[in-house]
Amino acid sequence: MSEGRRGAGALVLAALLCSAVARAAVPSLEEVRRAHPPSEAELLDRHGELLHELRVDDHARRLPWVALDAVSPALVDAVLRAEDRRFWEHAGVDWRALGDATLDTLVRGAPRGASTVSMQVAAMIEPGLRARGARRSMPQKWDQIRAARSLEDAWNKRHILEAYLNLSTFRGELQGIGAAAQGLFGKAPSGLDAAESSLLAALLRGPNAAPGTVARRACALLPPQACAGVNALAQARLQGAPRLEPRAADAPHLARQLLSKDAPRVITTLDARLQRAVGATLRQRLAELAGRSVSDAAALVLDNATGEVLAYVGNTGEGASARFVDGVRAPRQAGSTLKPFLYGLALEERLLTAAALLDDSPVNLVTGSGLYVPQNYDREFRGLVSVRTALAASLNVPAVRTLTMLGPERLALRLRALGFESVSGDGEHYGYSLALGSAEVSLWELANAYRSLANGGLWSRPRLLPAPPARPVRVADAAAAAVVADILSDRAARSTGFGLDNPLASRAWSAVKTGTSKDMRDNWCVGFTARNTVAVWVGNFDGSPMRDVSGVSGAAPAWLDVVNLLPTSRVTAVARPPDVLARRVRFDPAVEPERDELFLAGTEVDVVMVKPSTAGGARITYPADGAILALDPDIPPPMQRVRFESSVDAEGLAWVLNGTVLEGGGAAPTWLPAPGRHELALHDHTGRPLHRVRFEVRP
C-alpha cells in the first residue's frame, strides 16, 4: 500500500474516532504518585538522612518517584524513539500510526499496536483500561483513546512522560526508572549513558525478553557505530534476576520494628553518623576476638536527659551467628550488671554505707533447691572489704551477703520498678543468685536502668521517635544513686578486681560496670557519662560459650571505643545531691587505706575498724546447716575427706561430731564422711557449745 493511501486511511479513521471520543475524568499527577509509593520503606535519622531501606511491598520493586529533570536526556530520547516518535506533536493519539496499524491488521493480517505514551499512561492509571488477554478489543481501544485525550487535556507533556517512566515495568519486578537504573546498572537515572538508555528503552516492549533479543532491539535505536558493546552489556546486566540492593542498610533490626506499608517513612531519634560508627566498632571488636568463639554483638546509646536513642545496633550483619536476632531486645542472663541496683537499694535503706565492711570469704547458703556456694570470678577471696571495693571490683560473695540482708524479693521489686519487665518471677524464684545476675534481661532494659542511675534515680522510657520528653518518675533515692555512680567511676577501687590497666578508663568522666553470665555465654559492659549511657553486649545467640572472654576483655573495649566517639561535656560528673556528704575515713590498716568517702546524710562515720575476733563469735562456715553431702562411688574414700571450716581461728577450740570430740582438732580438721545424718558443734575450752550445724551424707 502506498504512503499516500496509508496516510489518507489514517486521516479517515482519525475523523471517525474523533467524532466518538468523549472526555473522561483524570486523576492528578500527585494522586498517581501517591497511588504508587516506593516498595522500599525508609528509616531516617534525626536529621532526615537515610539510615535503612526495607522492602514492604512484595509485588514490585519501586524506588522514590523520579522527576523528569532527574532523568538522563539520552534515556528520554531512546524511549521516545522506541515508543512514540511523535509524542511532542500529537494530542494523545498518533492518528497516523493508529491508522497504519489498523490497516495492517485488517488488510494485511499483520496485527501490531500503535499505543502512544499517553495511551499507555492512561491504561496504567485506570485499571479498567488494562488489556485482558494478548490484545485489547476494539471497545477497549476506544476507551483507551478517550482516556489518552482526557489525559492530554489535564496534564502537560512532561508530566505524562514522567509518569510513564515511573510506572513502566522494565525487567522482572523492577518498576519505574529509579529501580531499573539502580537495579540493572547501579546508577541514578541521571547518569545513564546512550547504551544503557537504549537497553532500558528496548525492555519496555518486552521486559522479560532474552538478553540477545533486547540487545538487537536496542541497537535499532542507536547509530551503527554506537552499537558496539551493547550485546556484551546486555549479557552482563540482564542475565538472571535483577538485584536491587538497598541504598542504606545501617539499622536492620530497628527498620523491621518500625517500618511497614502503613509506616513507609519513619524519622527516628538516631544519629546516622554515630549509628554507622558504632556498627563498625562492634564488627572490628568481633574481628579482634576471632578464635575465641564470639560471633554476635549489640549496642545501644541513649541521651541521658531526653531518653532519645542515638544508636541502636541489634547485631553485626553477615558474620553473625543469627543476624536476624535483635540483640538489643533479646533477653540474656545479666551477670554482674545488676549489682549496682543491689547496693543502691542497700544504701537507700541504710543497711550499708560505701565504707561498710563486707566479708569476702566462703559462704554456703541452704536454699530450697540445694546448697548455694557463690564464688568470685577469680576464685579468690579477699577477706573484709568495703562496699566501695566490693562493687567496683565486682566481688560476688559480698554481693550475695548483701542480698541476704535485703532478701531476693526486695531486689526483684526494685528491678521491675527500673523497667526490667523480663524479671517476671518473684524473689523465691531467683533466690540468692539474683545478686549475681541469674535473671534474664535485655540490653534495652539494662541501658535504661543505668540511665536512671545517671539521672539520680529518675526513670522514663527510652524514645526512638521524636517527641517531647516523658515526665520521669522517681524509682530510687537520688543520694544512693549518686554514691553508686561515684563508686562505678572510681578507677582506684576498680583496680582491686581489674588492675589499673583496663579498658574501662574513658577520656571523659564515666561510671561503668561489666558482667559475664554463667559458662561465658553473655558478656556485658554498661556505663554512662554526664550526657550519655552506652551499653554493649557480646556473645553467641546460639547459646554456645565464649572462650577466655570476660566483661573486661570482651565488651569493655568496644564500650570504650563507643564512649570515646561521643562528644564530651563540660560537666565532669553527674550531679551530687546536697544530702550526699564527703568525709575522710580512717580504716583498719589491715583492711583498706585511709580515704575520702561519700555518705548519705545521717550515715557518715570517721573510723571503720574490725572488731577483734572472740571465740564467742565463732561459727561453722562449712558444712552449712542443712547441707547435703554426696559420696561419689568412683572416687576412692580417702580422697573424699571433708574439711570443716570456721569463721575465726579455731585453734584451742574443740570440734564435736555426733557428741564425740574429733582428735587433732585445730583450725580446720578433716573427716572421712559416713552416710547418715550428723551433728557438728564447735566448743570453747570450757566445753560450752558456740555453734552447731546439722548435715547429711548420702551415698
Residues carrying an active site annotation: 83, 336
Place of cell 482519525: 14
Place of cell 563498625: 280
Looking at the chain, how many residues does it have? Answer: 699
The per-residue DSSP string of 608-645 comes to: E-PPPP-GGG--EEESPTT-EEE--TTS-GGGGPEEPE
Q: Which residues contact 696 (CB under 8 A, 6 or more apart)?
A: 627, 628, 629, 676, 677, 678
**Residues 648, 610 contacting (CB under 8 angstroms):** no
DSSP letter (8 states) at residue 133: S
**Residues 304, 450 contacting (CB under 8 angstroms):** no
- Three-state DSSP at 291 gives coil
Beta bridge partners of 596: 584
**Residues 170, 203 contacting (CB under 8 angstroms):** yes
Q: SS3 sequence, 344-383?
A: HHHHHCCCCCCCCEEEECCCCEEECCEEECCCCCCCCCCE
Q: What burial class does residue 58 get, using C-beta atoms within 10 Å of its C-beta: 0-12 exposed, 13-18 middle, 19+ buried?
A: exposed
Nearest to 533 by CA among 309, 319, 333: 309
Please, what's the b/e burial string for 321-336 (b: 16 or more CB within 10 A of its CB; e: otherwise)?
bebebbbbbbbbbbbb
CA dihedral for 205, 208, 213, 214, sign (positive or negative): positive
